[in-house]
Chains A and B, each alone.
Chain A
Amino acid sequence: MRKLSRLSRFNIAALTLGLAFLYLPILILVIYSFNASRLVTVWGGWSLRWYHEFFNDRAMIEAAWMSLRVAVSSATIATLLGTLAAVALSRGERFRGRTLFSGMLYAPLVMPEVITGLSLLLLFVALNAERGFWTVTIAHTTLTMCFVAVVVQSRLGSLDRSLEEAAMDLGCDPVRAFLSVTLPLIAPAIVAGWMLAFTLSLDDLVIASFTTGPGSATLPIRIYSEVRLGVKPEINAICTLVIALIAGVIVIASLASKLSSSQGESAAPL
């Protein structure tokens, strides 16, 4: 008993320190985003001044809008492709080179982003593609597709195959069986995959800076270049907004995947 309580006190200390290490900087950032002072490090009272500043900063708003567009479109394309890949890998006939294919699909998970970014840049240059919104979107799709595939495939793997057979037995052709039984059951995983892809795309700096062109900077690129000239309190406000957006998305994603693993409790997934 004594030993246990001593251990748990140690655990509490470790937990507190760990959480502080993770969240103190973010907390400070959030608090300073409401700073009225012009100097980042000097507290001048509460104010929404820098949020106001941000909403009047055209370049910043444009970058944020660019980021959102890239995130939404790349997440959508990645979800489509990743789901198809997951279905092909876990439901298709056992084709030759299947293991190799699934290995290759997951390679971007562990590939350093610098390499992914550089290789994509070389590809776009070789193709003589004009760099901008579409090149960043394509680059983010290749990055996030494998994450979607992993999430969806794990759900498909735990799904009973005889469900599809039962659907076929009851009059569905294979496509119909997939649409009316499999798809509703893996929908939460697909949604979770989309949200994962969205957040990954939203905060990516490395790949985006390799593949974007002049005049189409994403928010992380814009912030990074601003910070190099000196931190403005406005940056704190933007970051706070991004944190709020991502936190919201992550909460929804984890709720969706929780729903996915305990499916059947409520009618519609999400």
Chain B
Amino acid sequence: MTDVLPKTHAATGAADGDPAAAGQPLLRIEGVAKTFGTFRAVDGVSLDIKAGEFFALLGPSGCGKTTLLRMLAGFEAPDEGRILLGGKDIASTMPHERPINMMFQNYALFPHLSVRDNIAFGLKRAGMARADIATRVAEMVALVKLDGLEKRKPDQLSGGQRQRVALARALARRPQLLLLDEPLAALDKKLRESTQAELMELQRRLGMTFIIVTHDQEEAMTMASRIGVMKSGKLAQVASPRELYEGPRSRWIAEFVGDVNVFDGEFKLRDGHRLVIATREAGTLVTAEPREPVGETRLSVAIRPEKVKLSRRAPVSEAGRETAINSLDGVIADICYLGGTTTYRVKLDTGGTVQASVVNSARLDVDAYSVNQNVVAWFTPDDCVVLQS
């Protein structure tokens, strides 16, 4: 099946293993804004996307991510700013004149056309020769594994098959940029996971540039090479999944992407590369110095649950450095067993609570804690993220 590899315009550079061959980004969004009535749906977004990237726009509903995507597709015109594709401003180009295709959230398959005609629709409009259309459609059908279903109508397909038809239809024109609006939202969990893997594989093989819009942070983390988190029409942070998870730039992002323990506190002193922060709920915590300098007043300390370790006794600190490890005494308040991991909520003696996610590495629960057991929750300064409150 690997021989059906349509080459894209965008892929000509990317296929040679040099995504940034042109030196400039494939897509440049410059200060784009869109207002509906008095509601500022997109509020000054600037973003560069390189050819061959798998970019995710992540955010809660109403954050403006779909509006931004619709502006890229041409269904909405930006009120301010420019959208440059390959260096050319396309902000006022009509949708049908853009080398961009979109996969719609509800797939928007034409109910009166068969699978084959749905896929061929865009090719006919492009004025392709009949024989070429037939070849391309066959290629796309093989690519998304829809063999044997070409004559079916959309309402004779399952949800997963419809999703594939929509994908094939959007890919058939070999766009420079493929936009995917919540492409997996309508699928069940198992199918969603396998489709995620297939989408990533497809994107890698075609070397095409994908922009996906999703509200599901796991989906964004799994598939995208870079994620732009949107909040209230603005880009809050653009980073790789790992950077985003381990180094969120604000408390809101930390809480939106994954679970997190956050303790508010005040800056006390700086000790080399360590900060000492006095928190109200978890006592005094030692943290690594953040990469970006923070104001030395009100700060928050964020720790991911899986970085909090539990033990019956306090861990032994490195010799001579009492503050090397943050250890907090507490009692197990409740236990949430999730199969692969167990999440313990620990009520701290200092008043707050901390969540610890522990991998169930043994089948038998010799290591498990029980409710009301006294434990020590501990984590290293490097596992803490210092955020401006």
Contacts and interface: CB of A to CB of B under 8 A. Distances in A.
Interface of A: 160, 162-163, 165-173, 176-177, 181, 184-185, 263-265, 267, 269
Contacts of A170: 96, 101, 121-122, 125, 169, 173
A171 B173 contact: yes
A16 B52 CA distance: 72
B129 interface: no
B15 to A, nearest CB: 25
B173 A263 contact: no
Nearest to A161: B108
Interface string B91-111: 000111000111011101111
Nearest to B154: A264
A165 B112 contact: no
A172 B112 contact: no
Interface in B105-130: 105-106, 108-112, 121-122, 125-126
Contact of A165 (B95, B122, B154): B95
A95 B155 CA distance: 35
B116 to A, nearest CB: 12
B204 interface: no
Interface string B165-206: 000011001000000000000000000000000000000000
Interface of B: 73-75, 94-96, 100-102, 104-106, 108-112, 121-122, 125-126, 153-155, 169-170, 173
Contacts, number: 71
A176 B122 CA distance: 12
Contacts of B111: 163, 185, 263-264
Contacts of B101: 169-170
A171 B110 contact: no
B104 A172 contact: no
Nearest to B124: A171
Nearest to B179: A169
B106 A172 contact: no
B173 A160 contact: no
Nearest to A162: B108
Given A162-B104, A173-B94, A263-B112, A167 B154 contact: no
B22 to A, nearest CB: 25
Contacts of B173: 170-171
B112 A264 contact: yes
Given A165-B95, A170-B121, A264 B106 contact: no
A214 to B, nearest CB: 49
Contacts of B121: 167, 170
- Which interface residue of B73, B74, B100, B111 has the most chain A CB atoms within 10 A? B111
Given A162-B108, A163-B110, A185-B112, A168 B94 contact: yes
A181 B110 contact: yes
Nearest to B121: A170
Nearest to B100: A169
A265 to B, nearest CB: 7
B153 A265 contact: yes
Contacts of B75: 165, 168
Nearest to A166: B108
B94 to A, nearest CB: 7
Given A160-B108, A165-B95, 20 more contacts: A160-B106, A165-B104, A168-B75, A169-B73, A169-B101, A169-B122, A169-B170, A170-B96, A170-B121, A170-B125, A170-B169, A170-B173, A171-B125, A172-B125, A173-B94, A176-B96, A176-B125, A263-B111, A264-B111, A264-B155
B96 A169 contact: yes
Contacts of B95: 165, 168-169
Contacts of A176: 96, 125
A171 B112 contact: no
A265 B104 contact: no
A177 B110 CA distance: 11
A101 to B, nearest CB: 22
A265 B121 CA distance: 19
A53 to B, nearest CB: 48
